[in-house]
C-alpha cells in the first residue's frame, strides 16, 4: 500500500528543536496532500547528543540518527540535507553538503554574515550547474495569503508601488527576567531581532513586490543588556529591536521594524503595500486573511476586502480542505517542502535561492552598517 | 526507531472523502505531538469501491483495504472503528462494532433520527460496561479557544449565564446552480443545514456552558428546491437553513441559526455567551482567537480582550508551537484522537459520549417538530 | 448676518432629557450644514417642572418654556411639535398637535400599543390631506452606512434576499443592583428591550430591505424582577430581552434579538443581510463602516469590504467633512431634522411616516402575542 | 433665556474653509455641553473676499465680518483670535494679536519654520506674563481615546516605554491627476505630508507618552512632481510622504510615517506604544476605541482589550451621550475650545502651548535636516 517507490529521496535533517519538529512534520506528510514527483523518506536525523537525538527521531519518525553531520553527508542513502541548526553553522554544513552533491534546504537567515552568505550562494550556483538544488527556508513565502499577494501585484492589480511597510512584533523577551538563550549571543545567532524576524519581513516584502531594497537607514537597540543564566547573568550581545527605513529599486519607499518587546503582540508579522491602483495588507496573527483594496472600485463601495484565503483557486489551498477551513503555521513548511521536492523532480530552480538569501543578508548588513554610523544611509551592495 | 510498541492499537476507518482525509491525518500524526498511552496503527481503510479505496489508502497511509464494513469488524487486528460515512449508516455500523468489542469513534451528527441515536446510546452504554469506549466526533470541542471558553465558564468567570447566541454561516449552496449532493437528500443526510452545521452549534453551546437546552421554537426553509443532477434536476429534500430560539436549563435564553446561503461567510461558526460577570465571543473564521470581556474590570479599561489562544497554558496548545503560531482546522481532529486514545488507555470515559450525541439529536428533533407545527414551543425530551 | 428669514419655522419640543438634548442640538445646527428650505427657530421647550425646564431651555438654546403641552399646541408661533416624552404620552399629544395643524416629529416607538399607533397613523393620514407633515424618529435610518445599505439593496446589488439577522445588544441593566427607571414600567414604557431597542432593529431591517415582516415567533424574559427604588424595591413589569425569528414578504427569513444584558456590548445594533448576489453587515458600535461582500467579484479576491462611509457621494456625508473624518451619534438626528424640514418645505411626504411606525408596532405586538402563546407563529396584521 | 452673560468673550475667527467650519461649530455649541467659565460670542469672521466671507458668516453664525485681520485685532469687542489660515500667515497674525492682548488659538502646525515658531513661542511666553493665553490647535489631544491613553501611561499602566510607532495614512493625493492646491506649495504650506499630518503624530506621541523626541533619521519623497493647475500644470514643491525613526528621551525607540498616497486609508492616524507592563493601540478611523493590553493579566486571559471610549468616566465623554453612542471628528474641536475657555476663565495655562507647538516644529525641522543629509541622525534642538 505504500506510496513510496523508486522515486523516493532520502532526507537527512540536522537539528531537532523547534524547526526540527516542524520540518519533520512537513517531510512526513507532504506526499499525503501534494502530488510531489519525489516522495521523502525520513532517513536520518542529526544531533550532537545521541540520547536526545534518538528520542527526537522516535518522536518525529526518523529511521536512524547520526551525531556528526559529516557522517550524514557521507551517506549514500541521503539525497537531501535539511539544515535546522543555529546560523553560525549553516555555511560550513551547506557548502560541504552541496559539494557532496546533496540537495540542501537551509533555515533562515541563510548565514550570520554577508561573507558567509556569499560563500554559500557561490557554492549553490556551482552546485546548480551539476543539477544539485538548494533553497533557503523563508517559509512565509508559502503562506497562501502572501503567495496570493505576490500574484496580485505581479498581475498589476496594485499598479506602481509607492509604499511598503512591514513590522514583525513579538513579545517573548518583554520580561527582563526571561533567561538567556543562544538567540541572544552574537557568535551563534549573528544578530537578534534583526536576523531572526527582521529577515522574514525583508524577504517577504522583496517576495511580494518582486523587487529589491537598494538602501536603508536604521537604528538598533538592546533594552535588556544582561539576562539570567546558569550561575548568574550573561551579557546579551545582539540587538533587541531594529527599525529602518529604505527604498526599493522601483522608487517605492519602505519602513521596517522588528522587535521581541511589543507586549501583547505574539507573532504580528504585518505587511502593507500601497500602489497607484490598489493596496494590500496582511497580519500573520490572522494568517488566513489578505486585505485588498481595489482602487478600480467606485468610491461608493470601495474598501479593504477581507479575503479569507481558503478558496480552491488560492495558492496551495486546493491540496487541503474546503473553503473556510483554516490552515496553520506548519502548513507553510509542508508547502515549502512540496515546492523543493518539485524542483528536485522537475529540475526547475528552487525559490528562494541562496542568492535570494544573500540578498536578504545584504540588507541586514546594510542596516547594521547604518545603525553603526549614526543611521547614515547605507546602500545595499549588489549580490555576487 | 519506531515509537510503536506493544501498546499499539489497530485502527479501521470507514469512509475516505473529506472526513476520511482529515481523520487519517490525525491518526497518522497524533503520537508525534501528544504523549498518548496507545499508538495508532493505520490498519485498514473501508470503502465500497475497491479501486478508489486502494488509492485513498495509499494516499493517506493505510496498510490495507476492505470493501465490506462487516469484514472490518470481524478482523482481529482492529481495535478501533472510526465511522466517517454518511449519517444513515452510522447506527448499523456503530452498534455492530460495539457489539464486537471495538472502540467506536463516530462522525457527527450521531444519527439521522432520535430513534437511531437512542439505539446507539444504549449500545454504547452497554459496551462501556465491558470497557469498550465510544465517542462522537464533535471536533469543535477541541478548538483550543472553545476548550478555553468552557474552562473560563466552569471557573465562574462569566457568573450566571443569561444569553447564548450562535450562528453557523456558510455559503457553498448560495449559487442555485451548484449541483445536487448526498447532503441534500433526506434519506442519506437526515436533514440539511440543521444536522450538518446546526448540530455543531448545539453541541458547542452545550459544551461551553456545561448546560443543556430544554426547549426550542424554530423554522426551516429550503430556498432552492431543485438542483442540477445527472440527467436533469433532482429535488432537494432537506432544509437549506434552520433558525431557532431556545432556553437552557439554567434560565439562559438562546438563539441559533444555521445556513449555507450566507454569501461571503465561509465557515462563520460564531458563539457569544453573556453572563452576570463576563462575556465570551468566538468566530471559527478566526479560530485561534477568543474574545473575553471581564465584567470585574473597571469601566475605564473594560472591553473585549482578543486572546490569541496559542499560549502554552491554553488547552491542547502546549503540544504544538510557541505563542503566536496558529493552529488550523485539522488540529481539532488530532486533539480529538488524542483524547480518544487517552480514554482507551486510561479507562476513563471518552467525551462527548454517544449520550451527548443523543442530546444533540433530541434538540435537532425538537427543532424539526417545532418547525413542522408553526414554530410552536417544543420541549427537548430527556435522554434515555 | 442671520441666515434666518421669512421661511423660518417655529419649533416646540416637549421633553428635555436625553432625547431632548440631542434633538435640540439638531434643531440648533441643521441649517449650518444642510441647505434646508425652512430654518428652525427654537421657539419653546415644554416640560412639567418649570425650574428644570427653564434650566434646560437656557442650556439648549430655547427661547421660552411652557409647562403644559396644550399651551404649546395653542401657540401661533409654533409650526412644528417635536415629541420627546415617554411612550404613553405620544398618542394624545400627537393627535392633538396634528389636529391643530402642527407638523409632528414623534420619538420612537410611535406608541405603547398597536391600538394607539393605529389612532396616530389615522390622524397623520388625515392631517396629511391638509398639508400637515408627520414623521416618527427612527434616527438610525439616517446613519449614512444604513442609508447606503438601503441604496445598494434597492439598486439590486444583493439580488434576492434570503437572510436578515439583527441584534441590538446593550448592557446597562446587566448589574442587578442598578436602580429602577420609568423604562422598566409597563404603563409608561409599554415594553422593555422589545419596544426600546427591538423597535430600532425591526424598523432598520424593514428600511434597508424595503420589505416588511409578515410573521414572527418569539420569546421574552425578565432576568431581574425587582430593582432598587426609593424606599425599597419596585417590580420590573417589562421584558429584559426579546428574541424572535420571522419571515419577510419576499421569502427571506430573519432573526432578531434585543437585550440590555449583553455585558460588554454598549450599543451593538448589528444587521446582516445575505442575498443571491451579495451581503451587507453593519455594527452601530462602528457606525461609520458598512461591510459589503460583492458576489460578482471572482472568488480569488472576494470578501467583505470595509467601506468607510465618509465619502462625498455617500448619503448625508457631503454636508460634513472630508473623507475619513467620522460622524457620531447625534449626526443622525441632524439628518433626520434636515429631512423633516425638507418635507415641510417641499410638500413631499416625510419618511418614516406614522404608518411606518405603526408597521413596527404591529411587529412588536405580534412578538408579544407569540411570546404569550408558547412562541406560536403570529402573523403581523396588515396596517390600516 | 440666553445662557450668555457678563462673562461672555468675543471671538474672532480668521479663515473660513474646512477648519473654519469646524471651529465655528465648536464655538457655537461648546457651552451647550460643557460648563465653561466663559461663553463665546461669535463676534467677527475674517476673510479676504468680502462676499464669500459674508456668506460663510451667515452660514456659520458669525455676527459680522472683516476683510483685514488687522482690523479684527483692533476691535475692542474681540477677546479671542482663532487663526485658521494657511501656515505662512500664522506668525505675523499671532504675534500681533498677542501684542494686542488677545488670547490666541492657532491652527497647527504652529508655523512653517522653526524660526517662526520660536518667534511665536517667545511672544506667547511674554503675553502669558500679562495673563494672555495661547494654544496650538492639536485637536487630536482631545480625542477621548487619546486622552485616556495619556492618562493610563501617566498612571504607570504601561511601565517603562520601549516602543512608539505611529503612522498617518491618507489617500487623497493618490490619483496623480487630482489638482494642485495651496497645500502642495512650499511657500504657503511649509511642507507637505510632514507638516500637515506628520505634525499630528509627532504631537500625539509626545502627548500620550508625556515625553519628547530627541533625535531622528528620516527620508521624504515626492511621487507626483507636477499637478493640473489653471492653464496647465504646476510644480509640487513639498514632500508627498515622510518616514522617520527616532528616539525619545526615556530611551524608547520610535517610527513614524506620514503619507497621502496610501490608497484605501482615509484617515488612518495610528499609534501603538509598548511598555514593560502594557501596550496601547489606536486608529483614528475607529476613533472611539482604544486597545489596551494589560501585561499584569495572566497569560490565559491576556490580550488587547477593545475599550469603547464612551463611558462617563472617560475624558470629555461625560458631557455627551450614554455609553456606546459614538462621538465624531468635530467633537475634538469642541473639547479643545472648552479647554481653552477654561484656561481663560481660570487663569491656568492652556495646553498644548506654543512651546509645545515649537517642540513639534523642531522635530519636523530635524526630519527635514536628516532627509536632506542622507538620512543622517539629526538631534532635535532644545526649545527656547
Return the percentage of chain D with pLDDT > 70, whole number.
98
In eight-state DSSP terms, residue C168 is E
How many distinct helices (H) and strands (E) make up chain A?
A: 11, 17
pLDDT of amino acid B383: 46
Q: Which of D303, D309, D316 to mutate to test the interface with B (most CBs of B within 10 A)?
A: D303
Compute the distance between CA of residue B221 and CA of residue A175 in angstroms, rounded to an integer.
55
pLDDT of residue A381: 76
d(CA B298, CA A123): 62
CB pair distance less than 8 Å for D263 and A241: no
* Cβ-contact D191, D215 below 8 angstroms: no
User: Is D5 in the C-facing interface, judged by CB distances under 8 Å?
Assistant: no
Residue that is written with C-alpha cell 431581574 in the block: C224
Residue C379 CA: distances (Å) to CA of B50, B244, C366, D62? 55, 17, 6, 56
Q: Backbone phi, then psi, for B11, in 5-degree steps?
A: -110, 135
**CA neighbours within 13 Å on the CB side: how many for C240?**
23
DSSP helix/strand/coil, C154: helix
> Testing the interface with A: which of B20, B170, B174, B329 to mutate, by most A Cβ within 10 A?
B329
DSSP B162-224: EEEEEEEE--TT-STTSPP-GGG-HHHHSSSHIIIIIHHHHHHHHHHHT--EEEEEEEEE-S-
Residue D4 confidence (pLDDT): 44
Q: What 3-state class would DSSP assign to C146?
A: helix
A159, HSE (Cβ side, Cα atoms, 13 Å): 18
Distance from CA of A167 to the nearest CA of D (A): 10
Residue D383 has pLDDT above 80, yes or no: no
Is residue B98's pLDDT more than 70?
Answer: yes
What pLDDT does residue C382 have? 63
Q: How many helices (H) and strands (E) in chain B? A: 11, 17
B residues 155-184 closer than 8 Å to D (CB):
157
The confidence score (pLDDT) of residue D7 equals 86
Q: Which residues of A touch B288 (CB under 8 A)?
A: 285
- Please name the residue of chain A whose CA is at the shortest distance from the CA of residue B33: A59
Chain centroid to CA C232: how far? 34
Strand order in the sheet with D103-107: D64-66, D39-46, D8-14, D80-83, D103-107, D134-137
Q: Quote the CA–CA distance of C272 and C257 in Å, as a whole number.
A: 13
Q: Is the pLDDT of residue B2 over 70?
A: no
pLDDT of D6 above 90: no
pLDDT for C6: 52
Give, in words, the CATH class of B8-139.
Answer: alpha beta
Predicted pLDDT of residue A2: 39
Question: Is the per-residue pLDDT at C384 higher than 90?
Answer: no
Yes or no, beta carbons of D293 and A263 under 8 Å apart: yes
Q: How confident is the model at residue D21 (pLDDT cuts 50, 70, 90)?
A: very high
pLDDT in tens, D96-138: 999 999 999 999 999 999 999 999 999 999 999 999 999 999 9
Would you place residue C381 in the very low, low, confident or very high pLDDT band (cuts 50, 70, 90)? confident
Chain segment A285-343, per-residue pLDDT in tens:
999 999 999 999 999 999 999 999 999 999 999 999 999 999 999 999 999 999 999 99
Minimal Cα–Cα distance from B183 to chain D, Å? Answer: 39
Q: Across the interface, do A176 and D276 touch by the CB < 8 Å criterion?
A: yes
A206 in contact with chain B, both atoms CB, cutoff 8 A? no
In this complex, which of C59, C172, C321 lies closest to D329 when CB atoms are compared? C321
Residue D9 has pLDDT above 50, yes or no: yes
Which residues of B are less than 8 Å from C218 in CB distance?
Answer: 245
Nearest Cα of chain C lies from the Cα of A276 at a distance, in angstroms, of 18
Return the sign of the alpha-carbon dihedral for residues C84, C86, C90, C93.
negative
Q: What is the share, in percent, of chain A residues with pLDDT greater than 90? A: 97
pLDDT at C2 over 70: no
Name the CATH architecture for the domain at C143-372: 2-Layer Sandwich (3.30)
Q: What is the DSSP letter of B6?
A: T
**C-alpha grid cell for residue A304?**
479593504
CB contact under 8 A, A304 and C306: yes
What pairs with residue D286 in β-bridges? none
The minimal CB distance from C322 to the residues D18, D61, D287 is found for D18
User: Whole-angstrom Cα distance, residue A355 to residue A118?
Assistant: 8
Region C73-102: what's the mean pLDDT?
97
Say which CATH architecture domain A143-353+358-372 belongs to. 2-Layer Sandwich (3.30)
Q: How far is residue C72's CA from residue C44's CA, in Å, rounded to a whole number?
A: 8
Please say whether the dihedral angle defined by the alpha carbons of residues C344, C348, C349 and C352, taken in this order, is positive or negative.
Answer: negative
φ/ψ (deg, to 5) at D241: -155, 160
**Section B354-383 average pLDDT:** 94
Q: In Å, how far from its chain's centre is CA B360?
A: 10
Beta bridge partners of D134: D104
In this structure, whether the domain defined by D141-372 belongs to CATH 3.90.1150.10 is answered with: no
Query: What pLDDT does B381 receive?
Result: 76
Residue with cell 500681533: D96
Residue B107's closest CA among B37, B196, B172, B169?
A: B196
Q: Where are the domains of chain B?
A: 8-139, 143-372
Residues of A in contact with C315 (CB under 8 A): none
Contact status, residue D137 vs residue D166, Cβ threshold 8 Å: no
User: Are A300 and C308 an interchain contact pair (Cβ–Cβ within 8 Å)?
Assistant: no
DSSP structural state of residue A195 = I
The pLDDT value recorded for residue A4 is 44
Predicted confidence at residue C46, as pLDDT, reads 98
Task: Please indicate if any CB of chain C lies within 8 Å of the CB of A145.
Answer: no
Q: Given pLDDT bands bounded at 50, 70 and 90, which one contains residue C7?
A: confident
Please say whether the beta carbons of C336 and C147 come within 8 A. Answer: no
Q: Quick: pLDDT tens for A38-61.
A: 999 999 999 999 999 999 999 999
Q: What is the mean pLDDT of residues D185-201?
A: 95
Amino acid at each position: 500500500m505504500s506510496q513510496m517507490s523508486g522515486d523516493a529521496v532520502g532526507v537527512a535533517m540536522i537539528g531537532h528543536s523547534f524547526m526540527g519538529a516542524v520540518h519533520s512534520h512537513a517531510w512526513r506528510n507532504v506526499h499525503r496532500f501534494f502530488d510531489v514527483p519525489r516522495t521523502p523518506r525520513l532517513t536520518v536525523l542529526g544531533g550532537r547528543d545521541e540520547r536526545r537525538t534518538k528520542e527526537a527521531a522516535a518522536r518525529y519518525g526518523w529511521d536512524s540518527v547520526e551525531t556528526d553531520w559529516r557522517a550524514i553527508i557521507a551517506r549514500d542513502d541521503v539525497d537531501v540535507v535539511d539544515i535546522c541548526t543555529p546560523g553560525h553553522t549553516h555555511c560550513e554544513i551547506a557548502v560541504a553538503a552541496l559539494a557532496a552533491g546533496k540537495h540542501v534546504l537551509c533555515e533562515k537567515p541563510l548565514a550570520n554574515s554577508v561573507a558567509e552568505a556569499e560563500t554559500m550562494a557561490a557554492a549553490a550556483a556551482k552546485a546548480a550547474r551539476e543539477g544539485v538544488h538548494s533553497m533557503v527556508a523563508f517559509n512565509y513565502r508559502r503562506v497562501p495569503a502572501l503567495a496570493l499577494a505576490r500574484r496580485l501585484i505581479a498581475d498589476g492589480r496594485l499598479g506602481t508601488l509607492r509604499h511598503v511597510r512591514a513590522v514583525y512584533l513579538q513579545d517573548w523577551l518583554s520580561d527582563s527576567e526571561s533567561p538567556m538563550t543562544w538567540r541572544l549571543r552574537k557568535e551563534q545567532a549573528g544578530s537578534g531581532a534583526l536576523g531572526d524576524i527582521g529577515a522574514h519581513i525583508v524577504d517577504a516584502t522583496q517576495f511580494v513586490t518582486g523587487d529589491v531594497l537598494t538602501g536603508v537607514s536604521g537604528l538598533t537597540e538592546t533594552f535588556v543588556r544582561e539576562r539570567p543564566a546558569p550561575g548568574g547573568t550573561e551579557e546579551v550581545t545582539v540587538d533587541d529591536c531594529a527599525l529602518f527605513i529604505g527604498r526599493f529599486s522601483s522608487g517605492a519607499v519602505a519602513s521596517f521594524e522588528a522587535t521581541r518587546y511589543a507586549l501583547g503582540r505574539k507573532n504580528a508579522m504585518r505587511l502593507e503595500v500601497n500602489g497607484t491602483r490598489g493596496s494590500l495588507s496582511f497580519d500573520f496573527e490572522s494568517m488566513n486573511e489578505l486585505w485588498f483594496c481595489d482602487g478600480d472600485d467606485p468610491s461608493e463601495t470601495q474598501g479593504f476586502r477581507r479575503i479569507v484565503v481558503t478558496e480552491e483557486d488560492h495558492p496551495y489551498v486546493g491540496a487541503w480542505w474546503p473553503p473556510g477551513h483554516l490552515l496553520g503555521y506548519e502548513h507553510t513548511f509542508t508547502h515549502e517542502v512540496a515546492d523543493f521536492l518539485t524542483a528536485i523532480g522537475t529540475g526547475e530552480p528552487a525559490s528562494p535561492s541562496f542568492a535570494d538569501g544573500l540578498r536578504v543578508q545584504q540588507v541586514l548588513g546594510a542596516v547594521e552598517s547604518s545603525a553603526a554610523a549614526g543611521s547614515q544611509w547605507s546602500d545595499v551592495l549588489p549580490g555576487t
